[in-house]
Amino acid sequence: MHQKREMILNCRNDVINGKKILEPIISELFNINNEFLLDLSDAANHITRHFHGSKVDIEELANIKKNFCSEDCTFCSQSAFFNTKITGYELPPPEEIVEQALNAKNDGAGSFCLVAAWREPSTLDFEKVCTIIEEVNKKVGISIECSLGFLTNRQAKTLKKLQVKRYNHNLETSRSKFPEICSTHTYEDRVKTLKIARNAGLELCTGGIIGLGETRKQREELILEISELEPEEVTVNMLVPMPGTPLELQTQLDITEILRVFSTLRFLLPKSIIKISGGREVNLKDDGQKLLLSGANGIISAGYLTMDGNAIKKDTEMINEINLEA
């Protein structure tokens, strides 16, 4: 057996047996030659099936407050800094979100995430979000997640009391790349909110966007930084360059680079949900089938914050085609 293949198999078996793979070995896996990428993805798939079976987690997003965000994240079409011609709206009445949540549940979504485009919720807006959560809990009964920007300790504890399962707050990119992507807040600001959510008893969902112009080394840094937080869920977005943003001309990552991220993450976080998120339909010719057999075990479906996506029914069929369970 080739030495590299043997190393991959040994790492796979170590993960299944509960051993942590050391950082130098993770780096070797992440940077392995393309000729061994299939071995890497097969091993990641083996780990996924061992810990998660054939189930694929399907999540739907609700963009409850759109556009005019005060932050200058260069990838984002909802930033007030850029003229992207995206229409905006403030928080809708609870009954609108209840209807969307009910449709998501009936279509087969296992979780429903409330997302708001702002730096942090004002006291009044947070109260409105809490009302929405209460109504969805009462009338729908679906697992609720939230992505509301920066949180205070009190707000995080309130979300926990309202039975919010998980708080979503992405690192966006590696620590070394972050200052090029955003100047209105810091990487440490983002980590602080994740720690606040964790201390309140909320599960964590964090991740980032790949294809921002970062180096492979910076993608490696990102997955290591994600793993240090031990999130229950990881979301990996692939940039869709949006007209009017500073990254509108950014070129797509090759599938081999995307594959490295998902497969190596599985070695780092064997028990976490690893979710293919924004950019799935645009960047992947198969809507994610290859990645679902290479370490991923979840998808965002039915659209994104400012973009349409596949209907859940179509994604369910895609999942069933590769003998996995939606």
What is the set of domains in the chain, with CATH numbers?
A: 3-321 (3.20.20.70)
Q: What is the DSSP string of 306-322?
A: SS----HHHHHHHHHHT
Give ∠ CA 57-60-63 in degrees, rounded to 5. Answer: 150
**How far is Cα 254 from Cα 256, in angstroms, rounded to an integer?**
5
List all residues 6 or more positions away from 323 whose beta carbon is below 8 Å from its beta carbon: 54
CB 44 within 8 A of CB 287: no
**How far is Cα 128 from Cα 126, in angstroms, rounded to an integer?**
5
Q: Find the radius of gyration of the CA atoms of the chain.
A: 19
**How far is Cα 227 from Cα 255, in angstroms, rounded to an integer?**
22
Q: Residue count of the chain, please give it.
A: 326
Beta strand pairing call for 166-168 and 273-276: unpaired
Structure tokens at 116: 């708001």
Strand partners, 62: 114
Q: Three-state DSSP class for 56?
A: coil
**How far is Cα 65 from Cα 89, in angstroms, rounded to an integer?**
6
Eight-class DSSP state of 34: G
Beta strand pairing call for 273-276 and 111-116: unpaired
The pLDDT profile of the chain, 326 residues, written as one tens digit per residue, is 689 999 999 999 999 999 999 999 999 999 999 999 999 999 999 999 999 999 999 999 999 987 789 999 999 988 888 888 888 788 999 999 999 999 999 999 999 999 998 999 999 999 999 999 999 999 999 999 999 999 999 999 999 999 999 999 999 999 999 999 999 999 999 999 999 999 999 999 999 999 999 999 999 999 999 999 999 999 999 999 999 999 999 999 999 999 999 999 999 999 999 999 989 999 999 999 999 999 999 999 988 766 778 999 999 999 999 999 99
Eight-class DSSP state of 279: T
Nearest to 146 by CA among 114, 170, 193, 124: 114
Whole-prediction pTM: 0.95
**How far is Cα 165 from Cα 232, in angstroms, rounded to an integer?**
10
Strand partners, 146: 114, 167
CB 181 within 8 A of CB 144: no
Q: List phi, psi (to 5°) of 59.
A: -125, 140
